[in-house]
Structure 1
Amino acid sequence: MKTLRSKLLLAMLSVALIITVLLSVVSVYFINISAKDTLKSTVEPLAVQAAKNFDSVIGSYTNNVVSTVKSDSFVEAKTDADRLKVLKSSFADNTGFYLNFTIFDSDGIVLATDNETISSSVEKEHIKGACERNSAYLTNIYTFGGKNYFTILASTKSDLIDQRVGCITIQTDMLVDTLNEYTFGKSGYVYLIGSDGKVLLHKNNEMVGKNALEVGKNNADYKEVTNAVEDILSENSGTTEYNLKDNDYIVGYYNSSYFDSTVIMVTNVADFTTASSSALTNIIVIGVVLMCLTVLFSLLFAKRITKPIISTTNRLRSLAQGNLTDPVDVWYSKDELGVLSNSLEETIVCLRQYINLITVALTQISEGNLCHRMEGTFKGDFYKIKSTFNEILDSLSDTFASINMSAEQVNSGAVQVSNIAQSVSQGSTQQASAIEELSATLSDVSKQITQNSADSKKAYNIVLKNTDAVDNCNSDMGNMVNAMNAIHTASDEISKIIKVIDEIAFQTNILALNAAVEAAREGSKGFGVVADEVRRLASRSAEAAKQTAALIENQSAAVSKGSKIAEETADSLNNIVSNSNTIKDLVKNISDASEAQAEAIVQVNTGVDQISAVVSANTSMAVGSASASEELSSQSLILKNMIARFKLSENGEKGKTEHQAARFTYIDDEPESDATPEDSQQDMTVPDEDNVEDFSTSDKY
């Protein structure tokens, strides 16, 4: 919890901090604005100077080439190699910047060179252009072999020799160094851009050849750069600014006389805001000093103000914890602190007096004296405590008198209820025992009926299977009788055929006899032999037919006998099938009746269980009622003894004196109950306040 001193200190520090922050922000803002204005007024003249210096360097090189090529030493030289030496000697002081010196004829043929590879980069159009003019011919910047170059050419105009073209090829690094001599700031740089937006010269070779007008279309971060380049290319000179990757840049630019280009000087504003950083540091230091002074003065001022407040607060905290004995550190002054401490002292004195009076009254009540009344002077709202306390004592006196009378009546009723509850409890116990025996008997009967039902189902299933088997047997027997009849019919047909065979044998025998007679008459022995054989065969056929007929007659007799037996057996099976169906119906009736009896027994058993549950609940309630009645009787006795401890106020009526004296004395007579002396002694103990049930309402019992 923050103290008053810490709050005052925090407030002062907050004010000092806010002032310091505002001062820092305002100072830095105006310093940055001033720095930007200064840069804008400085960067354009520097860009003009850089562009003019760039033009001056290029111009000096072109003039030197022209003067050398047109000089007498160059024209009168005997060989092209000598002319090459003359050309190189004219740039002896700057040979570190030039990579190639070449002498061409008017047709573009290399006559002398110190680097054939570089000289091959010069196009014939450039040589032709140099031959057509008296001044120098300057090519555009181009890339060859991964590096950037430009070429200066000049031709001779003399009748002494054929036309020659002197050429020097220069690497652009020299021009980059020339431009960056005028860089402004630590991270500033100068570069050259063409009229089409392509970067021609840049200290970062990766940027050369890129089109600044297209960069912003592909990358949103460079959109402002593209807009600035568009403004630069639309004017000859001036300044502009843009933001790139959270950095502000101010740009000065000026058109160059060569390469159709513009010299652009880029300056990072952050390089020139170090002054604002140092100013911010100074402001922070001043703010810290100011806050330290603020803390010092706040501590001195807060200590003087908070000392009496802290003392009063500590005393109020101890008062809240119940401490009324410690003195109050009174602040003797006429301001609010003095009034606060004096009022606290008066409050504690009054509270101490009130608590003493209330303590005395409560002590009298604890001793059983309800005749005591609270006296003394109570001020303001505390007067309600006195009047309310006395009203409570009067009400308690009347209430306890009424409670004592009611306790006697409750005791008498509790004894009667206890006796009745005991009788009900015994009857319920006996009834529950009888219900349990009945339930056990019904359970056994239910098990037997369930078993009988299961057995009858099994018997019904067996009889059902036997009936099916007998039906199948009866069907088979009918099929057998039909088969026997068919055999008997077939035997009759075979007998007819045998008779036909016998007649055929007889006729054959006669024919054989006639044949023998005719053979004897004709005298043919062979024909006679055949006739004898035919007659013999006919005799054998007749004999076999007789034997077959005898066998068929025996079989027919046996079949007739079997058919008769089969018919008798079929009649017997029909009787068995009829009796089996009758038995099946009887067993099914017995099974259905057993199931119905089992279901009825289950319902009866369920009803008995419900009755048993109700009887058990009634028994429990009866036992609980008996216990509650005994407890009520003992509690009423305890209540009477407790009320007898109190001394009640006299109401002045003589007729009620003896009655009140009888009502508020200890009761020595034993109550009329069946409780034993041990139970009475146990019931006389005062129960715990949290476990005492409320019997004050009339609808409880």
Structure 2
Amino acid sequence: MKFLQKSIARKMILLTVVPLIVLFCVLFVLVSGHVQKSINQQANEIVRTSSISASWQISRYLSDYTTLVKTAATNSIFSEYMEKVTMETPVEETPEFPEIYNELKRIAGIDTTNILAAWIADLDSSQLIMSDGYVSELGGNWVITQRPWFINMKEKMGLSISEPYIDVSTQKLVITIAIPIYSSGEMVGAFGIDMSLDQITAIMSSLRLGDTGYFCFVTDKNTILYHPTTDFVLKNIDEVSVSDDAKALVKNISTDVVQYETGGNAMCGFNTTVGNTGWKVVSSIPRSEVDSPFIQLRTILLLTMLVILIAICVIIYFAAKGMINPLRKLAIASDKIAAGDLDVDLDIRTSDEASLVAHSFEKTVVRLKGYIAYINEISELLHQIGNGDFRLTFKQKYDGEFAIIKDALVSTAEMVNDTLLQINLAAEQVASGSDQVSSGAQALSQGATEQASSIEELSATMNDISTQIMETAENATQAKAIAKEASDATAYGKEQMELMVEAMEEISRTSNQIGKIIKNIDDIAFQTNILALNAAVEAARAGNAGRGFAVVADEVRNLASKSAESAKNTAALIENSLHAIEKGTRIVNGTATSLEGIVRGSEHSAEIIQKIADASNEQAQSITQVNLGVEQISAVVQTNSATAEEEAAASEELSAQAQMLKELLSKFILASDGVERDVFDNTEKLDSEKPSFDEPDFEESSFENLEDYIEDDGTKY
């Protein structure tokens, strides 16, 4: 198992070679069996055909001589001569002897090479006449009925071929072909020839059966006439030291090639007869020679399969190496990234998934570099805030989760900045107010002293005031009528403003509903993105079968991202609209409130004017009492003068505290309240410098029926 775990190439080789070995083994067994059967059939046919051919040649050779014997046996001079020969007269003393002798010589002269002698034998006198001049003695030891050829001829009642024997005079292997001679239906003698087997031996020795095969020529009595081993010649098969299977092959005529063993060697043999003589030609060939073509073919087949397996292993090795090298580069790059080194260079130029992974790695590295830039910039900005400088400038465009950090940092900085600005403004106002109070208190103290001297002058002018009060009463009556008209106009404006407030509230409710719809769109985009991610995971599990679905899932995820981004942009616009509507609503409400105040003020002004008119009449009567009040005021003014001096001292102390607060706030560098704070000063520049990622090209036709591919329990998203 460790061998499999170390290399993809080894896994591919094993997973490919093992089935191939099994397949080759099955193929080898099937082909070997079929080829062996075919070769065996062919070899058997060759053995059978060779045996039949050898038998035919021997049969054809013998047929010439058997025909000669049969033809001579029908010669009338032989039958007539035998009828005349008697027991009392030697054959050489008969007058027909010279003719008979010459005829025998003529027949023997037909083939002097193979025919050693032609002869006739008389049955009654038991005399023999041969073409070589030999004539048996009348009444001698030569008895025709005791001759082997006669006994065989008698058994067969026709032509017979004797067992081979060695001729005494020539020392050649000889056979005798004999045939009965009939006269008037009765056998009167026999005609025959003594024939040498040299030609048959030459024929048999010239025959070839493969490289080591051989032929054996035996008689009907199983006497060996020819054998490559000369020691076996003229021996009966039972006298030869061969296996029983070999003896059975020689004794029995076979219809098929026989498998047998002899001398520890496996052999193939076939036995066929020579014409109707009863003699047999037995062919034998070693089994090893028969199987030699099969063994050679099997060796070639094994070597071919081995070469194919080696070639396949080499091809798979180099192919796997070509696939593994990009993976190794990716692993090295991944280790460098894990170690914090983002300076990686993936030189992978393939047209398969490895290039996609490499492209994804490059995008990941760029994204990580962007994250590091985010972190560095956020660290610098936090350090800047720690130093009291709230003038934040963001040079990076924050995406994803970092956008939340940026928004939180911006909102925190703005909140602290606004708070400190308000504190600074309040400190300035306190300082300014304390100065004014101090100055006012001093002026009040001085004015109180001056008021005491002016009270007397005031008393003198009271009489003049009384006259003017009467005129004021008349003018107050006229102002009352004008104030009534203004009050009516203001009431109508109030009604119109209430209608406007209701319209603004309706717009606000509608915008809130749109915001909810955008929120639902954002949720749908988020769920679509989740489903696309799940689909991509399932497509990755499906392998090559899921590649098309992975592309669809990736495009769905892109669409979900775009939808989410559009929803966010729309939500931002709607939020800005809501803020504007809220601001307008506040202004309208403020205006309505102001109008209500104006209405109430107008009504109140009318009432006051009426009261002024009534009071003016009463003031004339009460002016005398004013003089008394002036004297009392003079006493109060003196008291106010002392109090104003005390307030002036307290105001100076408050001014000193306000100045100290301003000095503390001066340590913070704040964005001015009147200047718009833009935290994306360099966003456009960043967008132009930000590296772009090449997205895979997709055909539009792949997404024409997108809803048919993104379903979950019948619900389409």
What is the TM-score when the length of structure 1 is the normalising length?
Answer: 0.34
What is the TM-score when the length of structure 2 is the normalising length?
Answer: 0.33
